[in-house]
Amino acid sequence: MEKLAKSRFITLEGCEGVGKSTQLKMLKEYLEKTGQPAVFTREPGGTPVAEAIRNILLDKSMEISPSVEAYLFATARVDHIDRVILPAKERGELIICDRYIDSSLAYQGVARELGIDNVLALNSYAVEKCMPDKTIFIDMDPNNSWRKQNGKKILDDRMELESDSFHGKCYEGYKELAKRYPDRIAAIAPNLDKKTTHESILDVLRAGGFIK
C-alpha cells in the first residue's frame, strides 16, 4: 500500500454558492465508504468560541470595520487551530476544513482592500504553526455560481449580502492567491456534473498522498 503524507491538513476554498458544501459531502461519503477516517471542520467556527465569533461576523445587524472583521476571523482561527487542527495533526489524522486562511486573504485582504500581506501578518499564528498542506480552490465566478444559476439566492448573512462587485473582488483575490501559491493551491474548474468535480478533487488529493 502506498504511504500517505505525514501531514494532511486540507482546506476547501471558493466564493459563495460554488459547491463547496456539496463537494465536502461527496468527499465525506467517499472517505467513509473507503474506510478512511477524517476530521471535518469549518471556518469561521469549529469550536464554541469560534462559533460565537462566527455569529457576530455573519450577523447582518452588526456594523464591523474591515480591520475588526479581519481580527475577528483571525482570533476565531487561533482557537480552532489550538483546539481542533493541531491536536488532530499531532494524532496524524486527515483534516478537511471548509474555508481557512485563504478566505481571509481573499475577502479581507483583497475585497476589503486591507492587502494580502497585512492580513497574512495578522494571521501570523496560522502562518507559523498551521498552513494547509493542500488547498482545493473551486475556481468559479460567484456572480454565476450554481446557487445563482439555480435561482436560489438566499441572502441571509452579512457576507452574502455584500454587492456583486465585492464578491467579484473576492474571486479576483482567490485567483491571485492561486498564482502566489501554485504548489499549495489547486484550482478546480467547476462542472455541472458534480461527480466530475468530485473526481478531480480526489485526483488532487491522491496525487499528494493525502488520501487513498
CA distances (Å), origin 85, targets 8, 39, 41, 96, 168: 10, 9, 9, 9, 30
Question: Taking contact as CB under 5 A, which single stretch among the options 20-28, 42-50, 52-60, 82-90 is the one that binds Mg ion?
Answer: 20-28
45: contact with ligand ATP by CB under 6 A? no
For ligand ATP, which residue of 128, 156, 179, 192 counts as binding (CB under 6 A)?
Answer: 192
Report d(CA 105, CA 108) in Å as an integer: 6
156: contact with ligand ATP by CB under 6 A? no
163: contact with ligand ATP by CB under 6 A? no
Q: Which residue is nearest to Mg ion (CB)?
A: 21
| Residue 147 interacting entry, from Mg ion, ligand ATP, none, C-beta within 5 to 8 Å by type | ligand ATP
For Mg ion, which residue of 8, 20, 80, 167 counts as binding (CB under 5 A)?
Answer: 20
99: contact with Mg ion by CB under 5 A? no
Q: Are 129 and 82 in contact (CB under 8 A)?
A: no
C-alpha gyration radius of the chain: 16
Q: Are 12 and 99 in contact (CB under 8 A)?
A: yes
- Smallest gap from residue 132 Cβ to ligand ATP (A): 17
Q: Are 155 and 146 in contact (CB under 8 A)?
A: no
User: Which residues are bridge partners to 129 per DSSP?
Assistant: none
Query: Binding residues for ligand ATP, per CB under 6 A?
Result: 14, 16-22, 146-147, 150, 152, 191-192, 194, 197
